[in-house]
Amino acid sequence: MEIHQLAYFIAIVETGSFSKAAERCSVAQPSLSQQIKKLETEIGHLLFDRLGRRVVLTNAGEMLIPKAQRILDEVQGIKVDIPSDIEEGQGSLAVGFIPTISPFVLPSVIRRFSQEFPQASLEVHEDLTEDIVQKLVSAELDVGITSLPIKNKMLQTEELLTETLLVASSSKYDIASRASIQVKELDDFPFIALNEVHCLGEQVQSFCYQEEVDLSIVCHTSQLSTVHKCVAMGLGISLVPQALAIDDPIEEVSYRAISDSLPQRKIVAATHIKRHRSYLAQQFIEIVRSEYPSNHSA
Amino acid sequence: MEIHQLAYFIAIVETGSFSKAAERCSVAQPSLSQQIKKLETEIGHLLFDRLGRRVVLTNAGEMLIPKAQRILDEVQGIKVDIPSDIEEGQGSLAVGFIPTISPFVLPSVIRRFSQEFPQASLEVHEDLTEDIVQKLVSAELDVGITSLPIKNKMLQTEELLTETLLVASSSKYDIASRASIQVKELDDFPFIALNEVHCLGEQVQSFCYQEEVDLSIVCHTSQLSTVHKCVAMGLGISLVPQALAIDDPIEEVSYRAISDSLPQRKIVAATHIKRHRSYLAQQFIEIVRSEYPSNHSA
DNA sequence: TACTATTCATAGCTTGCGCCTATACAATAT
DNA sequence: ATATTGTATAGGCGCAAGCTATGAATAGTA
């Protein structure tokens, strides 16, 4: 059974004749006759009684009408609905954030996304970079919001922004009140380090290695918020994302830029290199970009 | 868009791969790839992201699944449902009876037909032979129950039974008590004639013409029941179908056969020569045959 | 009643599309 | 690195749908 056969059939029913139906369908009348014959053979019943110059529906033909009409409508529906549904933002999207980003952007991003695309179903994962990469590769996630570097060659990244890391310290240390901070001064103070399972932890470490600074680490934590609290309690200083200072500042803590060398991390949207970036994914990325504190409040 | 394309699509979704789907659909994998590509072009969106050795659904593909599945189910339904519905006696049937038959058979025929085919929709017309013929030709009616002759060459007839016409008379006339009645005796009595718009009226007239009997008609009526009542009141005698005597006898009236020449009418089911005789039509005809009083009670 | 016009079916030919095989290319597992 | 698995591309083939021409039969008309 073929769709055009059903279309021919309905055309005959509506026009009342093979010839008129053929004209409407832009085919020759014999072609249409042949196709109806095939349809009849497949169904096992005559659809029309041929009275010579006239045709009338058989019972089988009568029963076919609603079924055929329905199928044709649905086929038409596919061609119309899917493109329009996609423009309306229907569909699903699975995204991942790393823990040193999500606190600043997740709430506002989810809120805006849900408002703009109420029809979409959003699934958010918080994971370490490594896991996000893996899930992007396996297509469990559509978009990952992480920071560079990402070395997996199956993934592509779109840069969202470059975020500066600031020196966070309490007033207990005089570094908080200096006019400008030099890189070399970092090792003069006890340092609160983020565990290296976080890319931010790695980034800080590699920055210091590059700048030949030998930190005196007094504490390793596994959450950025813990780092923050430790700094506030005066246990030491640390390097934290600017977004933390903007989004969630603590009164007792000062956030100062290093004057002679800027530690930075690049925030990116990572996607699978072979996968089509859906409309929802694109829009999501733009929302993250605009809602990111360092951009958003600027 | 073609049905096999949707089938290929669903097969890929269910098997998770083009190759496996191709095997299930009994086509080569490249053929299937081509058809999916065409489908994607027509819909205007990619349905799968090709990750090399793996494929994953896009949002558009996700949306297509239920729609495609539904269409495939419905197509399958057509091939299954229509034949089975017809076997179950679904469908419609329009039948016509002439007024000199309908009183004896219509009630019981309708009852039995409705019992046997509760799903069918039956439409019954009572009309003169001429109108029934016209409606059979124009396909407004599927079956006509009439009596011969029918000369229209677009119609074919199936003989149901041959019905004898009996002499009906009241006891007022001695014909009622004779051992046997001769044709020639008919003109000895006043005769109640049925109007010639009825074929029965014509048949009686032509019978008498053939037998060279010159009736002394005292009354023309347009209904057989009126003829019957007139006979009962002793206004005259008449020739009536055997079915009337069986189905609806009046006590004061005697019904006697003519001994030397049997007036008869053939009851037939007439149908359009070019139209397929539906299952319902066939069954209907058999019901009429078996429910006709002259057969039924025999 | 014969003639004409209309309509569907059939026959024979043409063409395009779906299918096939072979092969290239890419990703994952070993 | 190599083998294996899986999809895309290229080129050729055959069937099925399409077309034109014609036949058959009905319905309207002179």
CA distance A161 to B203: 103
Of B131, B127, B88, nearest to B106 by C-alpha is B127
Q: What is the pLDDT of residues A133-148, one digit of tens each?
A: 999 999 999 999 999 8
**Tens-place pLDDT, residues B153-185:** 889 999 999 998 888 888 877 775 777 788 787
Q: What pLDDT score was predicted for residue A218? A: 80
> What per-residue confidence (pLDDT) applies to B297?
45
What pLDDT, on a 0 to 100 scale, did the predictor assign at position A297?
A: 44
Taking residue A262's Cβ as centre, other Cβ atoms within 10 Å add up to 13
Q: Using CA atoms, how far apart are residues A33 and A18, in angstroms rounded to an integer? A: 7
User: How far apart, in whole angstroms, are the C-alpha atoms of residue A106 and residue A101?
Assistant: 8
Q: Is the CB of B184 under 7 A from strand C?
A: no
> What's phi and psi for B120, nearest 5 deg?
-80, 155
CATH architecture of A163-265: 3-Layer(aba) Sandwich (3.40)
Query: For tokens 């397929």, what's the residue?
Result: B276
Distance between terminal CA atoms of chain B?
A: 62
B66 touches A: beta carbon within 8 Å: no
B223-243 CB burial, b ≥16 within 10 A, e <16:
ebeebbebbeeebbbbbbbbb
- Find out whether B157 and B150 touch, Cβ atoms under 8 Å: yes
| Span A232-280, pLDDT tens digits | 888 888 888 988 888 888 888 888 888 888 888 889 999 999 999 999 9
Query: Cβ atoms within 10 A of the Cβ of A245, count?
Result: 21
In this predicted structure, the answer to whether residue A298 has a pLDDT above a threshold of 70 is no
B112 touching chain A per CB within 8 A: no
Which of B2, B54, B78 faces A64 most closely, judged by CB atoms? B78
- Sort out which chain B residues have CB atoms less than 8 A from A40's CB and list them: none
- Nearest residue by alpha-carbon distance to C1' of C28: B53
The pLDDT score that the predictor gives to residue B231 is 86
Percent of chain A with pLDDT over 90: 50
Residue A65 has pLDDT above 90, yes or no: yes
Do A3-87 and A91-160+267-296 have matching folds? no
A124/A230: higher pLDDT: A124
Helices (H), chain B: 3-15, 18-25, 29-43, 59-87, 102-116, 129-137, 199-210, 224-232, 242-247, 279-291, 293-296
Fold of A91-160+267-296: D-Maltodextrin-Binding Protein; domain 2 (3.40.190)
Mean pLDDT across the stretch A273-298?
A: 84
CATH number for the domain running over A3-87: 1.10.10.10
Domain B93-298 class in CATH: alpha beta
Walk along chain B (298 residues) and give the pLDDT tens digit of each residue: 999 999 999 999 999 999 999 999 999 999 999 999 999 999 999 999 999 889 999 999 999 999 999 999 999 999 899 988 888 889 999 999 999 899 889 999 999 999 999 999 999 999 988 889 989 998 999 999 999 888 888 899 999 999 988 888 888 777 757 777 887 877 878 888 888 888 888 888 888 788 777 787 888 898 988 988 888 888 888 888 988 888 888 888 888 888 888 888 889 999 999 999 999 999 999 999 998 877 654 4
3 state DSSP class of B247: helix
Domain ranges of chain A: 3-87, 91-160+267-296, 163-265
Please report, rounded to a whole number, the percentage of residues in chain A having pLDDT higher than 70: 98
Block residue for tokens 């992007």? A136
**Single-letter code of the amino acid located at B224:** L
Q: pLDDT digits over A158-208, tens only?
A: 999 999 888 888 887 777 577 677 878 778 788 888 888 888 888 878 887
Residue A295 is predicted with a pLDDT of 66
Nearest CA in chain B to A142: B58
Full DSSP string of B96-157: EE-TTTHHHHHHHHHHHHHHH-TTEEEEEEE--HHHHHHHHHTTS-SEEEEES----TTEEE
